[in-house]
Amino acid sequence: MCFSYEVSLATFVFTWSICIYLLNKKLDSYIKKRIIFLMLYSTVQIPDAILWKIKLKKNNINYIITSYIIPILLSLQILYNVFYINNESSKFIHLISLCFIIYLFIKLNGYSTQICNGKNNSPVWGSNEFKLWELVLFASLIFYPDWKLYLTGGIILIFFTYYFNTCGYGSMWCALANIYAIYLLITIH
């Protein structure tokens, strides 16, 4: 989620460009999987840009993007990390992942709206801002078991965003995608 159509598109192009560049290097499979994860993570910017382009009007496009496309993309991030990157065998993690994926489809069913008009504004998926526990659980599932990345990237950004923005803190999705892309670009030789 970004705070404008242009920033959503720019984030998508920027992160994908870095990822494609990096994927053309000789890297170990785990790093390649993390790069592909970033591509999946930043793909959310396309439906976000469409929502901005239609000015968040309550129409079929908004409903389909909010109720189906976005939950599918979020679910794929969880599934990709838990089952593909980590090949997780814990039934407990499987159950939490499945429950949260179902929850995403229920929570986001409806239309995305714009709640505030500040500079950090973003579409609010399903007209219902994510609560802190939802953000923490989602971050846990997409970073599991990489606790270093989780603690430095996910939790710090979530708490910073959640407590310093009055609304529309989803716009930090762009920031995290861009920061992680730059981090990968700098650290991969």
The residue to which tokens 């991969």 are assigned: 188
- Structural domain tally of the chain? 1
Could you give the CA distance from residue 36 to residue 84 in angstroms, rounded to a whole number?
A: 11
pTM of the model as a whole: 0.88
Higher pLDDT, 173 or 184: 184
Q: How many residues does the chain have?
A: 189
Q: Which domain holds residue 38?
A: 5-187
| 3-state percent helix, strand, coil for the chain, nearest multiple of 5 | 70, 0, 25
For the segment 121-174, what is each residue's pLDDT rounded down to a tens digit?
Answer: 678 888 888 887 887 788 888 888 776 666 666 666 666 666 665 555 556 777
